[in-house]
Structure 1
Amino acid sequence: MPIDPTLPYDDQNIFAKILRGEIPSKRVYEDEWAIAFHDINPQAEIHILVIPRGSYVSWDDFSAKASDEEIGGFIRAVGNVAREHDLVQPGYRLLANVGRHGGQEVPHLHIHLFGGQFLGPMIAR
């Protein structure tokens, strides 16, 4: 069920538990700002989730409350993951769902990184 991004951060969400090591994940990247791991239900040949280490509900929450250093570190982490997986050429897609209308299901900011195949149009026409 999609979530309300205006609710307070829930430290019992699945990504918070992954950050704490309570739930295993197949990590592919980790630094002081973010971790990245394979999605358990991939929607493309390559489907990696990148999450900040900080407690942010959504992109809106992150952009409003995170420090410049956190924002820069997280964005660099996303780029590093794409480069490490050879996705820059021929290309890839980033997706961040926000709120009910955006289809956000986990109340922790996460970026979906899709690649490894032609992804087609962003929205079905």
Structure 2
Amino acid sequence: MAATFTTSFSLLRRARLLRGYTIPNAFSNTSLDRFRPTSAPLRPQRFVRYITASINEAASARAAAATADDGGPTIFDKIISREIPSSIVFEDEKVLAFRDVNPQAPVHVLIIPKLRDGLTQLGKAEPKHAEVLGHLLYAAKVVAEKEGIAEGFRVVINSGPAACQSVYHLHLHILGGRQMKWPPG
């Protein structure tokens, strides 16, 4: 824990100095929310949250990758079997679409294949998965229409720990309802 804090604080210090912010000494009683801008108009609290979330997200992805191929049920398998409740927006015989519990846009829906069949991430797709991969993209179009974002939406697939994949059951993120930025990440 201490190493994570030191590393996170070190990253924050470097990022803040590059942006014209001063960072209080790690051992002072000053709260991290009290950074004082020296010249940049960037909001410090938002930046701190972004860096912290990125570090936590990457750590979660590495931890999830360690058990990715153990064959055990994922949280998505439990949603499919209705052991865990979810807000379902679309379902057919091959896929299930439901609202993300931590939305990154006004509309943020996840689409998953009902049968995992070894498809834990896009990087492990085989020719036998071609049909379900195409069906997932078609389902993304159907969900976008149902959610009223067909005029503009983004489809994201995180594949592997370097892309911060945290659940090893292939899934698509459908994002929309606001102007998307480029580059995305």
After TM superposition, the structure 1 = structure 2 runs for residues 32-47 of structure 1, keeping only pairs within 5 Å, are: 32-47=93-108
1:117 Cα deviation (Å)?
Answer: 0.7
The partner residue of 1:93 within 154, 166, 176 is 154
Normalised TM-score (structure 1):
0.85
Name the structure where helix makes up a greater proportion of residues.
Answer: 2
Normalised TM-score (structure 2):
0.60
Pair 1:73 & 2:145 matched: no
- Root-mean-square deviation (Å): 2.1
Q: Which residue of 1 aligns with 2:79?
A: 18
Gaps in structure 1 of 5+ consecutive residues? none
Q: Which residue of 2 aligns with 1:58?
A: 121
Which portions of structure 1, spanning 4 or more consecutive aligned residues, are displaced by more than 4 angstroms? none
The partner residue of 2:110 within 49, 56, 62 is 49
User: SS state of the match for residue 113, structure 1?
Assistant: strand
The question of whether the paired residues in 1 share the 8 Å contact of 2:100 and 2:109 is answered with yes
The partner residue of 2:88 within 27, 31, 55 is 27
Percent pairwise identity: 34
Of the two structures, which has the highest relative contact order with CA contacts closer than 8 Å and spacing of 6 or more? 1
Name the structure where strand makes up a greater proportion of residues.
Answer: 1
Between 100-109 and 65-74, the greater mean CA deviation after superposition: 65-74
- Deviation digits for residues 35-81 of structure 1 (CA, Å, limit 9, x no counterpart): 100001111111000111121211123x3154443233222212111
Amino acid at match of 2:85: P
Between Structure 1 and Structure 2, how many residues are aligned?
A: 122
The question of whether the paired residues in 1 share the 8 Å contact of 2:123 and 2:160 is answered with no
